[in-house]
Structure 1
Amino acid sequence: MEFKILGVLGTLIFFSACQDNSAFALGDDNPSASRSLVFHQSSLPDTSGNAVDPKFNCSDSTRIIGEFTDVRDGHVYKTAKIGNQVWMAENLLYKHEDDGVNSIFDYSWNEASGGIEAGCPAKGYFVLDGITFENCPMAMPAQGLCPDGWRLPTADDFKTLVEFAGGPKYAGKYLKSTIGWDGVGNGVDCFGFNLMPSTKDGFAEILSSDVRYYGDVTTLGFSKHSAHVFLWTSPTDWANGNIVRCIQGEGKKGMDVQIHRAENTYAGAFDSLTDARDGHVYKTVDIGGWVWMAENLTYGSKENYNYEEMVDAPVTGCYLDSLIWGDDFGMWNSCTAALPIQGICPDGWHVPSSYEWNVLSAFVNGLDNADFFAKGSLTGSMLKSTTGWSDGKNGIDAYGFGAKPADGEGKVSFWSSTNAATEFDWFGNIFFEIGTDSAKLKIYEISQYLNLEAPVRCLKNGENQLPPPYTYPSVKCDKPTTYSGVFGSFTDERDGNVYRTVDIDGLVWFVDNLKYEIPDGLTFCNCGDTTSCDGWGRLYPFKEAKVACPAGWRLPLFEEVTHLKELEAQTHYDLGGCVGNGDLLRATEGWKYSQGNDMFGFGAIPAGLKYYSQNESSEVTEEYCNVRPRENGSATSHAAFWFIFRNTLDVMELYGGGDIDLHSASSKGVAYSIRCVKE
């Protein structure tokens, strides 16, 4: 049956071709051989726990360095033995040019895996014997562009490397080079892996041969911000570039697909299911070891169901651990799905997920390995009934599924239990759509069409019906703690104002913004808490800032604010980069968008800055908080402090959730806060 809606917006979901290690056998001569749905799961232990920093003694004895020559172009590479693995200690350069710092990163996955040489397009669909793949079904393990005796690493190779090098929390520190990373981001390079940042602004990603569902390419990521390493998956890496580090070992070239094509209408046996709720009896059929209804569900005397009916829950709250209604945004937001979702199906059966529809599509296309996600005209032909389709588009119904459209319709779309964002809305659902010429997964927006209706085919509960587990080296970040030390105190004899003070790595700072009103001088009320000029201190122009601090105190020097920034950055790095830059200096309250952690007791508050204009008599004629005159105003979300640079003054700014910025400042028309330091 087809949808009954006023309008439908669909976005095609592409399928990825995951790989196994079987031999390449296109068009096998034994199509009658017994076939079942096959799953490949990692046998490695879960690596999600946090390793303790091993603090390797990084001496020459920890480095086992060798070299080899790539006979294809004569390039000589250093190698590093790390545990039981041997890795290139330099980025692959085959068919690419060295830019002088060995930071080549512009291999696409297709190029690196050898897909282009195997006949795969540079990007987009790959069609093999009528089956459409999102990516090339490469033979695994893939040699790709690596030299003979070497291959592309798998995600499991990365996990082994990471665990040996201290776990995901510290492996970056021990694998990154000692130079080349921004700020405090350099590593100690214990093993000679010598990973330099690519030109991706202080980041590096190493390609693996693994492609996950929907064409997501898996890479091992390193950042200048922390010692952590991450396994990333992204569909953009299919065409975009990253670096390649080959691992020693024999690899395969070419594609790896086994196809057993059914050619006749199903002549096997059907079983039956009696729905205890209403006594209705349904035909069922075993397809590759999974038992499907061979008829559409008709519970409640219906054959088409809306979303509420399909999931058997109201569309309010976070129901079935799958969805939540976001009233503030007027849209749907995804929650963690608890699969399988029984929904409207009888006990012991469930609404298929998009993964399960994918597996069915792959199987009926003739693929031995159910991890191949495929689509194409063959899927429709194998699943469509032999009657009921217009324009001579009947199928051969090779597996007894018997899909048939509603009268006068040219396609049928079945519910899945899987949600997905649409182009115009967060809440859509993935459907398995069989048309006159093809079958595919398709997303339809349903938040605006809550009466959208479609048929349901239930799938019997069984083992191995969920996507294979895929564990990532993950890190639980160390949470920064708010300053719990002792504050000092200083009383300004000029006006009696009392200031808290704090020692940060040997330098004593004001913890409060200066409030002193300079006699016959120009100062402004702050732009944060404007209920009182003394609320969050005053703002001082260039001239007044030079003489504002009390006796025994002064403005900080460039070297001192730089050290403060470096200290914050180093702590940020040691914590794993899991807090925003600048958060460790920002106060825990008062910020518009996000509060700080105030780990050092610096307590920066968003007092903002003041722009002003004066006439020829030095009278202030205009003043604006946080924006230049005649620009649009905005609420303050930053703090700005004067400091001394050589023979002038510059400014340090902190933004809500942003970095610490040191930059030059105008000597006229702008006023900032002051934090004095002890002489």
Structure 2
Amino acid sequence: MSSLFKTATFVFTFLTIVFTFFACSDNGDSRTSNADVTGSWDVISVSNGSTTTTITVSNEDNDSLTLLILSGTSFGDTTTAFDVNSGDSLEIIYFRETIDILGTVYTNRSSSSKNEGSSSSVFSSSSGDEYISSSSQKDPNDFLNESIKYGTMTDSRDNQTYKTVKIGEQTWMAQNLNYDGGINWPSDYSCGKYYQWTTAVGLDSSYNDYSYRGTVSLISEVNHQGICPDGWHIPSIMEWKVLFKYVKENQGNENIGKVLKAKNNEAWPKLSEDNKPTDDYGFSVVYGSYISYAGSHVKYNEYGHTETMFWTSLPDGPFTEYASDVSFDSTNEVSFNANWRNAGEYVRCIQDRDMDEGASPAPKKSSVYDSLACTLTDLRDNQAYKTTVIGTQVWMAENLNYVTENGYADDMEQSRCYNDYEYNCNTYGRLYRWTAAMDIPSIYAKEQFTDTALYQGICPQGWHLPSREDFMVLILSAGDTNNAGLNLKAQESWDYGAPIIDKYSFMALAVPNYDNRSTDEIGDYTRFWSTSNNDTTAFNLYISDHNYISSRSYSSKYNFQPIRCLRNKPGTYTSHAEYGSFKDSRNEKTYKTVKIGDDTWMAENLNYTNNTSLLTDSSWCYDNKEENCSTYGRLYSWNAATDHGSSKQGVCPKDWHLSTKSDWDNLSLTIGSVPSLGQALKSTELWTLGAGKKNDYGFSAIPAGYFDTTFQELGTVAEFWTRENYNDSLAFYYSISGSTESLSKYAKKSIVGRSIRCVQDR
């Protein structure tokens, strides 16, 4: 229930409290409903309740009133109070020792509204239509769809017989429960009894109080019987969603409420022609209103309320006074909301079902792993996934998104998309219960499964669901517990702690787990299932927004969580670069070279100087330390690199030349002109931020920094002059930064010292 709806319901309930007193208590006050009670009254007694405060007041004539106000009303506030005896709504100012009654807001006239010639009373409100009394009840079977073939079941506790209907794989009662158990109220609409949520799920009424924090743990994850007959249970939110999904897929539209509501015998009052029910599946929901938390019968269209509601098995979180429900209203809408646990709603029981009945393991079709393209293609559904090598492990770099049909990972019941929207599966992958991830019967949600070594589960053939030990190896390979949490994250989806660079291309997205009750928002954390398990829980890899990572985290096997599969064969990365070497005869220095496409590049920055003033004055070792030239190469001004732009060879050795724009274009075409081109060229070493992951092409760009009156950016930036200049003072260069994955081209001051890569003449 939205906060607005909860507030409206709360206020409305308070406004209807008066009718409870008229219907259920003796009116011992001789005053008429609209007697003048304005003036100052002395407070005699105050009784504070959780939602209302009862105040007894008297005046100088020794008249007394019993008033109800909302708990928490502050002294000096102007508020609305209800006169318990007369039923009038009064405007008052509440002081500690006195109450000033300013006037009557609403006068209750229900005591004089008798329906002549009838034995039934009709209570009306300022905005609601009449509600039907028990004397005009109809036969519940008259609401059913005569064209549907119903089944029957008899409740052995009281021998009441109910119609049942099978919709998809589910079998539902086609009528509301009418068993006289626990705290309940009779319905005035011939459609079963109202129950408090605690009664519906089989708890005593003390659990209506939010302070009982253990409520959630008392509800079975599946088939929670509650007040339903043996072999039947209170439906969970998930089971309602399965029903709605089936209807939506078969109807091809959003009119779920329309096709599930009863159409016969004026089951829904005052509906437009467009909104009239069709009851296509025989579910036959009858309008029946509900009972407010204060015990008042909410009438049709009273303060805009036209809904009838059914309890689910689940509380609305562990620390609230609310429970989750499903509502059908006068439109075609159905919605999941929440209501006070002590309110009265209907119960529709659903038959117990073995979710594994007829299920079989996922098909064992092969998969294709391309180590060069770093992809895995799952031939069961032909989906392709990115992969990454981390240490000796080959991981899927995306969450699995495979669903079975008549298997252990079927949609909705055993696997689902975040918030049950299909497009979220395309973005975040699918979320699986642990038994679905393992591709085993759901009985193992309550028993330990021990045969977990290299266990394929729902993963593609040749891959397996990781064990806790596999995750421990991953953590060590990705920077241990201090750094792996950051290093394994994707750059997207995290509210806090997102990395600047996804160092290992693991791309962990912040998609949370989904328990049977609710899910958290995307952005805070993620969990990945492992095979390691106990009776009711399984271990997982946990990554938080604060970069905490753990393989010791565990959660209920009934939770829905993402999966990362691990290749059975360990992988060590093998570079595809064609290396060679070249000795510069000018100073006998040997350079590693690499062939990329048709060009042969130096795989190291040039480190050459001579005694000419051009090189002695306009080339530098970083921080003027010779050891930095040995590690990072020399930094040259553009004039020093090109001999004032007069030479193709520039400062490079004979038969080599300073790289040109054409050389860089060829490089880009060979590797692929992609946003991550710069990352593909980085060395795996020396970068303090955003190091290369593989150095697949052997270019080995190292962050030598630059010189611009001072030495700057060692460890974070690699910049390379080209032979082309823009004008006498500006020249072109290419830049790779530790904070991005791109390769960028700039034209800036030619006097700045930057690195040089030479290319062999062709």
Instruction: Give TM class, smaller chain.
Output: 0.3 to 0.5
TM-score by length of 1: 0.35
Q: Select the structure of larger CA radius of gyration.
A: 2
Q: Which has the higher contact order (CA 8 A, sep 6+)?
A: 1
TM-score by length of 2: 0.31
| Structure in which a larger fraction of residues adopt helix | 2
